[in-house]
Structure 1
Amino acid sequence: MKRVFIIAVAIVTLLVSAEAQKQKVGIVLSGGGALGFGHIGVLQALEDNGIYPTIVAGTSMGALVGAMYANGLRPQDIFDLVKAEEFDKISKIITPSGLRRGSMGISDHKNILDMLDKYIPANDFDSLKMPLYVCVSNISKSQGEIIHSGGRLHEYLLASSSIPLVFEAVELDSMYYVDGGVFNNLPAQAIRDKCTYLIGSNVNPEKYRSPIKSGKDVAMRSVSILIYENTKPGIEMCDFMVDVPVNYFYSPMDFKHFYEIYQIGYKAGLDYIKEHPEIVRKCKGKRPDW
């Protein structure tokens, strides 16, 4: 009997310890190109209501915004970064130096890499102030992968945001990687069991689709449908899901509309909190001392 009691106590202790190691609030940020600027607004709305995620997962632009947040930058800092580095100009994102014989994309990653070197100088996941999980697509193995530790943080962030044909594929260990959204546009499963509450921010909500008026609209809608199919599993794993309706007004290449996209994200965050006040009751916490 005593032995059974000791075993029971040990099991309870392990369960309590595992629960204690969980982060209280996690956030997962979808891909979406320029639409991902909306995530900055969502993060600002959360913080304005005392909600501070302490573990992050993301794909593509969501991974880039998430990396800045995981490195201790506040939403306002990220907003200021975009303006200071002129990333609201497509010419600063897409550089034609990738146009050469045998190139795997229109643009290289020079400007984005320079930005990462400046704002996240330690090229290592373990150097970040909070855990970060980045989704990439390994097209050599035809599979999605989640990276969350070790070095080459910058390289995996570039890979996660390498929209096929637009950006060159990233070669790592003789394998080629592209945008994480090819396989998983909202990698909620990466951190679902590592936080008590999981908040999702999706800038490609299915219920907000722009009208089809041209061949370009047909192409964009087709791509959006494929992306949404890779988003649905993640949506179902979130406790709270903020749909940011930017895709009704703008496209993933509309970097010049940074401010408007940010504002839509901020309003979407505030509206969600107003409609779901329980998110504050469950997720409100102390701001990290970073």
Structure 2
Amino acid sequence: MSAHESNKPNKSQKPKVALVLSGGGAKGTAHIGVLKVLERAGIPVSIITGTSMGSIVGGVYACGHHAATLDSVVRAQDWVQLLSNKEERSQSLHVREQQNTYVFSTVLKLGKKKSAPEGGLLSGVRISQLLERLTYPYNDSIDFNTLPIKFACVATNIADNTEHVFHSGVLSRAMRASMAIPGVFSPVRMGNEVLVDGGLKNNYPADIARQMGADIIIGSSVQDKPKTADQLKSTMDILMQLVDLNFKNKEENMAITDIPIVVNVEGYGSASFSTAAIDTLIRRGEEAAMAHWDELVALAKRLGVNQDDVQPDTTVDSIPPMAKMTNRRIGDPLLRVGIRFDIEELVALQTNASLPFNAKRVMAFDLTLRLGRRIMAKGEWTFTPSKLLRSTISYTFRRNDINFYEYGDRSYNLTYNRQTVAVMPLNFNFRNFNFSIGGVWDHYFNLNMLTDGTPEHQLEKPDNQHLFSYQAQVDYNSENDWYFPVRGSKFVARYTYYTDNLVTLKDKTGTTEVGAMWRTNIPLNKRLAVQPMFYGRLLHGNHTPLMLQNVIGGQWFGFYLEQQLPFAGIGHVEFDYDKFVAAQLQSQFMLTEKNIIQLRLATAQSADQYERLFRNQTMLGASLGYFYHTLSGPLGAVLGYSNVTKEPYFYINLGYVF
């Protein structure tokens, strides 16, 4: 016998058992452990009521899924991604890059029709999509009494500070309203109601279960004792404290509960969604329920359950894919915002507005603005006739202010303007693969160079210049994380031919660029992975402009300049020879899911001619970094040394890289 047989007609009129699940954010995953024990005891649940996370666990269970499925689902989620505004991971590398550039994104409300503001930092697009999947096939407006188990959940109408109890409607929308933490997730608007987290009025809705006809109430509570001033450290702690303080009928609802199961959630908060935390919370839920095992078995016998016949269903149900279930309009205009800090450029801000021309997003116009020491403004028109193909035309203006170094000493400061028109008629995307081909016009102007006055550091100031180039690039990326992958590989290859008149450069053969990078990730165990990487850039031509020359140093590819090649141990950017090849071995150790240590060892050869490539001094470098992986991007510090600079460097980065 299983709990999901309970909503069949009951001729003997046995007492109706209700299960009440409290709110509590991540702590609510402990309800799954409680459900496992109820299934083990054979308790036939007829009614479920829940608030916030309790409404999510309860609503999915009421749809007919078993505890084993819920356990599998919560462990499989990337909660950092899920509780953000980012879409389900796209097959497009372009979209994945955007997702790992911007901290915040929201739907823009444009046009004559006035729409209510979002009213929250996060729109909750992805959590809504997941709820649609988990409540399939009950995605239409229905009476919740017709579910395999009768269900109700609670939200708070902040327009008049009243309790809204959902007994019908779109199930996933009701659950989304019940968990809309004020100020964090945008509220759900229904008519004149503005609905947010039900915990503000009724975080443990046992009274609702009684009103629905429950004769016996089993409750699972994951509520904490009120936190002290020292314990209120995070925004989520403060918000959940407000929920607890505003919950008026906690004692009364606990008093009408026949079997109150109170889970020990000490040490965990509403945002404790790490794999280890979820594992512990589910286990603690089981332990708390097992403490009432004798009561549960006695209740089962009273209800006529034969313990010998109890066989909990441990199969994991199939959940439909996101693409099948989501009904979000992909033509919504979006606003994205990114912010970062590092010790070289200090603060930088980047915003992006994506404006589709129709709901099918066949055409779109993107505006991007970067503010900081380096300024960038870009407009891009995109035509997307299919999921696999898009064409783009873009204009970009940049104002760059960059310090260049030689052997670790700052030697030049170069400021200049650059405007670029890029026409990419073919941009092919398939899964993790992208191929693009097109033409680019570059104009460098208003160039100013300051030197340190050292005679050997007298680089010639570049002149204003127009360049026309033909480009082709291949990208492949199957890595499981943009910044800290432990699985998958990445490959980039690029060919460019530069001219100043579409054919030649300074009346000679144009400059040819060939660049490539390949790296793969090899997990050695759950915490340690190694990443070998090979990369390089080769220039061929007699008159290579300064602005195209190889630039090495720093942490990332293409950070200051498109051709920038990172090198462990060289903290600042330096010009290098036309031929540059390098290899790097990175070891990545995860102290926890969010705390990461990276050790990089690098070597390289460079020269102006191939025959000298391995005659010149071998570059050697190493760096050691610590990073904390957050919703706002990587926060970390790096210490490095190389035989090129012959001095250590220290670098701090806070936020996504752009």
TM > 0.5: yes
> Which of 165, 170, 176 lines up with 2:188 in the alignment?
170
Q: In structure 2, what residue type is equivalent to 1:163? A: I
Match in the other structure for 2:620: none
Structure 2 residue matching 1:245: 3-state secondary structure: coil
Range with bigger deviation, 272-281 or 67-76: 272-281
Q: 2 CA distance for matches of 1:77 and 1:201?
A: 19
Amino acid at match of 2:122: S
Q: Which residue of 1 aligns with 2:151?
A: 132
The aligned amino acid for 2:204 is L
Greater mean alpha carbon deviation, residues 90-99 or residues 42-51? 90-99
Q: For residues 221 and 158 of structure 1, what CA distance do their matches in structure 2 show? A: 17
Pair 1:267-2:259 in alignment: no
CA contact (8 A) 1:136 1:145 kept: yes
State the distance in 1 between where 2:192 and 2:105 align.
22
What do residues 189-230 of structure 1 show as CA deviations (whole Å, max 9, x unaligned)? Answer: 112151221101100154xx6776455178478436415644
- Determine the structure 1 residue equivalent to 2:475: none
Aligned to 1:93, which of 83, 88, 106? Answer: 83
2:16 paired with 1:24: yes
In structure 2, distance between residues paired with 1:276 and 1:285: 11
- How is 1:32-71 mapped onto 2 (pairs within 5 angstroms)? 32-71=24-63
Query: For residues 221 and 106 of structure 1, what CA distance do their matches in structure 2 show?
Result: 16
Q: Residue 111 and residue 213 in structure 1: after superposition, are their counterparts in 2 closer, same or farther (change >3 A)?
A: same
Of Structure 1 and Structure 2, the greater strand share is in 2
Cα contact 1:185–1:227 (8 A) shared by 2: no
Candidates 110, 132, 136, aligned match of 2:125: 110
Which residue identity lines up with residue 165 of structure 1 in the other structure? G
Aligned equivalent of 1:202, options 221, 234, 257: 221
Q: How does 1:223-242 map to 2 (within 5 A)?
A: 223=242, 225-226=244-245, 229-242=248-261
AA aligned to 2:130 is M
Q: Please tell me whether residue 216 in structure 1 is matched to residue 208 in structure 2.
A: no
Q: Report the residue type matching 2:82 in the other structure.
A: K
Residue pair 1:31, 1:59 contacting (<8 A) in 2 also:
yes
CA 1:224/1:138 → structure 2, altered by over 3 Å: closer, same or farther? Answer: closer
Determine what percentage of the aligned residue pairs are the same residue. 30
State the AA in 2 paired with 1:108. Answer: S
CA 109–21 in structure 1, closer or farther in 2 if over 3 Å, else same = farther
Work out the CA distance in 2 between the residues paired with 1:49 and 1:59. 24
Instruction: Letter of the 1:116 partner, please give it.
Output: L
CA distance in 2, matches of 1:65, 1:48: 18
SS in 2 for 1:191: helix
More helix by share: 1
Counterpart AA for 2:81: S
Residues in 2 aligned to 1:185 and 1:56: alpha-carbon distance in whole angstroms: 14
Question: How far apart are residue 114 of structure 1 and its match?
Answer: 1.2
- Once residues 248 and 208 of structure 2 are traced to their aligned partners in structure 1, the CA distance between those partners, rounded to angstroms, is 18
SS in 1 for 2:268: coil
- Counterpart residue type for residue 78 of structure 1: L
The reply to whether residue 245 of structure 1 matches residue 264 of structure 2 is yes
1:145 aligns with 2:164: yes
The root-mean-square deviation of aligned C-alpha atoms, in Å, is 3.1
Asked if structure 2 preserves the Cα contact closer than 8 Å seen for 1:58 and 1:133, the reply is yes
Deviations 1:84-121 (A, max 9, x none): 3x15x233123343498954111112112211221213
**Greater Rg over alpha carbons, structure:** 2
Conservation of the 8 A alpha-carbon contact between 1:198 and 1:240: yes
More divergent stretch after superposition (56-65 vs 216-225)? 216-225
Q: 1:276 to 1:47 in 2, by over 3 A?
A: closer
2:43–2:296 contact (8 Å) kept in structure 1:
no
Following the alignment from structure 1 to structure 2, what is the Cα–Cα distance between the partners of residues 98 and 279? 49
Equivalent residue for 1:76? 68
In the alignment of these two chains, the number of paired residues is 267
TM-score, structure 1 length as denominator?
Answer: 0.81
The 1:221–1:30 alpha-carbon spacing in structure 2 relative to 1, beyond 3 Å, is closer
The TM-score normalised by the length of structure 2 is 0.37
Change (3 A) 1:275 1:119: closer
SS in 2 for 1:195: coil
Work out whether residues 169 and 178 of structure 1, in 8 Å CA contact, stay in contact via their aligned partners in 2: yes
Higher-RCO chain (CA-CA 8 Å, sequence separation at least 6): 1
Q: 1:153-192 alignment to 2 at 5 Å?
A: 153-192=171-210
Task: Specify whether residues 106 and 186 from structure 1 end up closer, same or farther in structure 2 by C-alpha distance, changes over 3 A only.
Answer: same
CA contact (8 A) 1:205 1:243 kept: no
Structure 2 residue matching 1:241: 3-state secondary structure? strand
For 1:110, the aligned partner's letter is V
- Which one of the candidate residues 251, 268, 273 is aligned to 1:255? 273
CA contact under 8 A between 2:200 and 2:244: conserved in structure 1? no
C-alpha deviation, 1:47, in angstroms: 1.1
Q: How far apart, CA to CA, are the structure 2 residues paired with 1:68 and 1:48? A: 19
Kindly provide the amino acid, as one letter, of the partner of residue 199 in structure 2. Answer: G
For 1:29-82, what per-residue CA distance to the aligned partner results, in whole angstroms no more than 9, with x for missing partners?
000111100101011111112223121000010011001110111111111122
Runs of 5+ unmatched residues, structure 1: 1-17
Change (3 A) 1:229 1:126: closer
1:120 aligns with 2:135: yes
Distance in 1 separating the partners of 2:149 and 2:296: 26
Query: Which deviates more from structure 2 when the two are superposed, residues 96-105 or residues 46-55?
Result: 96-105
Deviation for aligned residue 1:263: 0.9
| 1:37/1:258 contact within 8 Å kept | yes
Encode CA deviations 1:105-152: one digit per residue, 9 max, x unaligned.
Answer: 111121122112212132333552111011111111210121113x22
Counterpart code for 2:214: C
1:8 aligns with none
CA-to-partner distance for each residue in 1:229-284, whole Å, 9 max, x for gaps? 443222111111000111x1100111112111111111111112257764444457
| Aligned 8 A contact 2:178 2:196 in 1 | yes
Residue 11 of structure 1 aligns with which residue?
A: none
Number of the residue aligned with 1:6: none
SS at match of 1:251: coil
